[in-house]
């Protein structure tokens, strides 16, 4: 049997064992955008890379306010977040040329939310054949691009956009 090592995932596993702070509150308040993989900031929300991605370019859009539900967002937050989702799709198309996207929100632990108390949208670029034998047979997902490279690739597009 061959082994694939992904030691960077231990942070994810250990974080949930120890308890965790809300990344959607702590990351933007630190003002270290490159270190925290924050690609774009708005007045009410921001775009951040998922550091445990399903695919390269897996992004999240979250409000600054620490709220759990879609029904708690005000119209300004919703409008800006939808604008960021739209902009992110355009940028991901330019940078990666995906065949499609999964876009969604998991509200509540039962729905799969890792940070159930802070609503956020996922934007996952998809390619034909990106689900191959590895996840199906080996229960292993291979991410083909390192996070810092993805950040640099996407950041230049966000910087050019308004």
The catalytically annotated residue of 58, 66, 118, 120 is 120
Residue 130: CB atoms within 10 Å: 18
Catalytic annotation present for 120:
yes
Matching residue, tokens 């900031």: 41
DSSP 56: T
d(CA 9, CA 28): 22
d(CA 63, CA 41): 10
Matching residue, tokens 């800006």: 80
Sign of the dihedral defined by the CA atoms of residues 145, 150, 152, 157, in that order: positive
Residue numbers annotated as active site: 120
């Amino acid at each position: 049997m061959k082994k694939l090592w992904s030691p960077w995932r231990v942070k994810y596993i250990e974080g949930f064992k120890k308890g965790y702070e809300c990344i959607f509150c702590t990351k933007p308040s630190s003002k270290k955008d490159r270190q925290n993989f924050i690609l774009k900031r708005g007045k009410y929300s921001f775009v951040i890379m998922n550091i445990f991605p399903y695919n390269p370019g897996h992004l999240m859009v979250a409000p600054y306010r620490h709220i759990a539900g879609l029904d708690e967002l005000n119209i300004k937050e919703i409008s800006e977040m939808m604008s960021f989702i739209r902009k992110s799709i355009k940028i991901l198309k330019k940078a990666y040329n995906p065949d499609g996207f999964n876009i969604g929100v998991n509200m509540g632990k039962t729905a799969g939310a890792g940070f159930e108390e802070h609503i956020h949208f996922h934007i996952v670029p998809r390619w034909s054949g990106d689900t191959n034998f590895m996840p199906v047979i080996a229960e292993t997902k291979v991410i083909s691009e390192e996070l810092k490279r993805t950040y640099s690739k996407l950041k230049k597009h966000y910087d050019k956009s308004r």
